[in-house]
Structure formats: structure tokens, C-alpha cells
Structure 1
């Protein structure tokens, strides 16, 4: 599979579902050497009839129309070094959209598409683009605070591939620790952390938010059953 798609290519995906107030998410699959592996895109409504696209995935036209009905795709967020596969083709489809990536990931992301910003330019008081501490500025997250509570949209720092499809996904999920038996910090991510204590502290800070309702990750199912408890357990494992 190429690191960047050159034309609109729809790989297997489910339908968009509403995960929270003004938040759509969709589970898809990415072709890998050992078989397809789950991935996820999330769309967040912003004020002014705009949307932010987190970890873009090319969808079929009915689902793309649903995104456009929510608002104009104004920001393409590439949340880490390795989530750039569909970035170029989304930028081609929506040339007005600004590309945002974490500072540490900028070099790799720009192999696929020029980056317009490495900080928060969303201009929405309910949605914040932030950087996960302790990861060398390679990983971003979104903090969405709406009437229905707080939604955290994370990238690779937590995997929750509880329902892998096929032998390849099962093997990769288990070997690399992407949460087949429960939410995990994937092994490749854990081994690459610059400061585990900072990451653990961030997990605890998120868990302490009284309005935390759900965590959406880039690989696996949405965590909406006691997400704070999940974060505290993961923080303990990093200590």
C-alpha cells in the first residue's frame, strides 16, 4: 500500500454515525501486508458552517454528501506521522481546506501534502487542537466541549481494536498491542515515548474532567463506557 494515495480510492468502510453533538465518525479499513486493519475518521462541526476532518478517509459519495451537509470541510487534521494516506486526495477535492499537523510530524506529513499550521487555527471556542505531551510533538488530539459533555479525539496513543476483522487484523492487533483484549497504549507507541510520566499525567488530567463522556481513537471502537477509568488504568501501566 502506498504511503499516499494519488486519486480518490474508496477502501472498505462502514457508515458515518453520530458520536456526539456535532461529531460524526466512521470506521474503515486499510490494506496492510498481513490483511486489512481498522482505522477511523472523525468529523467535527465548527462554528460558521465549517468542519474539521480528523484522520481523513475517502468515503463513498453518499457518505461524503453527509459530511458536506454538516459543513464545508475547512480543516484537514493529520494527527500524526502515519495518518497521511488520504490527505492528498482530500486536499485535491477540497483545495480551500487548511492542513494542520503536529510540529513533530510536519516533515513526514509534508511528503504527502503541504502543512498550513502546527497549532490551533480552528477558531472555535468549543474545539481545541492540542499536542499530547511526552511524545516529541508527534501526536495531536482534539478536545471538544459541548452541551453533551467532553469528547476527546485521539490518534495512536490509545488503541481499542476490540473487534478485529480477519486473521491479519487479529495478528497485527495482538502483536502490536492495539487493544484486542482491552484498551492499550500500542507497543510501538509505548516504546517510542519520550516521557512516559508526562503521558501518564495527561491521562490522569483527562480522567479528572468531570464532563468526559467519550474517547474516539484512530484505531478501534469508541470508548464511551467509563472512559475516565480506562485512562487511569492506562496511566498506571505507564508508571
Structure 2
């Protein structure tokens, strides 16, 4: 597990980008020897005010001001236990925000900050939680509908690291299959998290068939907005 940060430690990141009405994403980096490995946070505005933060990353103050202009963060989603590193810092900054983690991640996430729920307590009709089939450890997925345009927000089950920065990140992305050529489940995730590959493939194909699927946001790599259904079908074929 990564180091748990209680302090607001800002690593390199880009600007918030609005990908649809009320959905923003921020590309950041994990600084590593000889490179930077990409990570990504997503912000979703709620119909009744406030915001949901998916896979929280501490940002610089200009971007935090933009988030607070959207609405005070009301929910912090930790999509799996491996993405708990910065939730403690966010909890210190926004102590009223409710923390949501998958059931099997509750204990690990609780070491960083208290977990308020292990399922959907958001209550926004445009947002749907799912737990990914075929995995040993629970991992959340989120579906957000904006007028029939569906954004699928995933975590580690799919990576799309098309532009790793530095020698170290390039070696890691290529050696471990983090989606340099196309989106796919990385080798470490398959070993550590996948229990039934056929079930994961079926889950990908179910998402690919969603009416209105417009994009996929992943926690590691670029947003997938060119033929997201085709990307899921290809990723599913890796398990066949």
C-alpha cells in the first residue's frame, strides 16, 4: 500500500477539464524514479448542490478554488483500497464530506480516514454505483448520465497509459501492460484483483452495450472518448 498522507501534499498535476456537463477530470502524476506515472481524479457536480470526488488527489489552490466554486465536496469515493493514500488529507480539509469505500476496502481505507458507507449514499438519480464482477477485492465503478450521454468512471480494472513520462514510467507501463497501445487490464491488477476473468469480460461487454456510452474515465491514463464501446470489447477479448 502507498504511504498515507495526512498533510496536503501537492504533486504535479494539470488543470481541471470539463468533459461533460458537471463532470471534470484532473490529470496528475505520481513522481517515481526516472519518471512520472499518471493518476487521475474526477469531480461530479450533484443535482442538489455540492460535489463528488472520485479518487481524491490534493490539488493546488487555484484548482481547489474551482472545485469549491462548483460546490463543497460532499462525498469522497475511494474506489479501492489502493487509492486511499490522500483521502486522509481530504478528510482533514473537508471533515463533513462522507467517505465511501467498497466493503472489502473498509478496514484499509479506515486506516487513513473514517469510512461512512460501503454503498451508494449519494442519492443522485444521475449517478449509479456498481461493483465490478469477477474481482477478488471489491472495486467501484460509477456511471453518470448527462442527458443520455453516459460517462463510465473506472479505477484500476482498466488502464490507458498512452503517454508515460520518463524512462522509469515507460518501462513500468510497457512491462506491466498499463495500456500503452490500447486500454487494457494491467498485469499486476489481473494477478492481484481478478478472480474470474470471464466475469470481468462479461462486465466489460455489458458496459460496452450501454446506450449513450460516450466516454470512459480511468484512474491511470487518458480519457477514452474515441469508440469507448470498442475499447471495452477489445479489453474483454484479453480474457477470452
TM-score range, shorter chain: over 0.9
Moved over 4 A (4+): none
Cα deviation for residue 214 of structure 1 reads: 0.1
Secondary structure, counterpart of 1:152 in structure 2? strand
- Cα deviation 1:32-78 (Å, max 9, x = unaligned): 35542110000001121111000000001110010111111000001
Secondary structure, counterpart of 1:218 in structure 2? coil
Aligned mates of 1:115, 1:32 — CA distance in 2: 29
Tell which deviates more after alignment, 165-174 or 154-163: 165-174
Where does the alignment leave 5 or more consecutive residues of structure 1 unmatched? none
- Cα deviation 1:84-123 (Å, max 9, x = unaligned): 1110000000000000011121122112111111101111
- TM-score by length of structure 1 reads 0.96
CA contact (8 A) 1:52 1:73 kept: yes
CA contact (8 A) 2:216 2:224 kept: yes
Tell which deviates more after alignment, 24-33 or 89-98: 24-33
Whether 2:187 is the aligned partner of 1:187: answer yes
CA contact (8 A) 1:122 1:128 kept: no
User: Structure 1 residues 71, 190: closer, same or farther in 2, change over 3 A?
Assistant: same
Aligned mates of 1:173, 1:230 — CA distance in 2: 18
Whether 2:24 is the aligned partner of 1:24: answer yes
Aligned mates of 2:186, 2:136 — CA distance in 1: 17
Task: Spell out the pairing of 1:123-138 with structure 2 (5 A cutoff).
Answer: 123-138=123-138
- TM-score by length of structure 2 reads 0.96
Cα deviation for residue 137 of structure 1 reads: 4.4
CA contact (8 A) 2:35 2:165 kept: no
- Structure-1 residue corresponding to 2:228: 227
Whether 2:43 is the aligned partner of 1:47: answer no
CA contact (8 A) 2:79 2:155 kept: yes
Where does the alignment leave 5 or more consecutive residues of structure 2 unmatched? none
Task: Spell out the pairing of 1:2-151 with structure 2 (5 A cutoff).
Answer: 3-33=3-33, 35-147=35-147, 149-151=149-151
User: Structure 1 residues 2, 194: closer, same or farther in 2, change over 3 A?
Assistant: closer
User: Structure 1 residues 2, 227: closer, same or farther in 2, change over 3 A?
Assistant: closer
Secondary structure, counterpart of 1:230 in structure 2? helix
CA contact (8 A) 2:159 2:178 kept: yes
Aligned mates of 2:211, 2:46 — CA distance in 1: 23
Q: CA RMSD in A?
A: 1.4
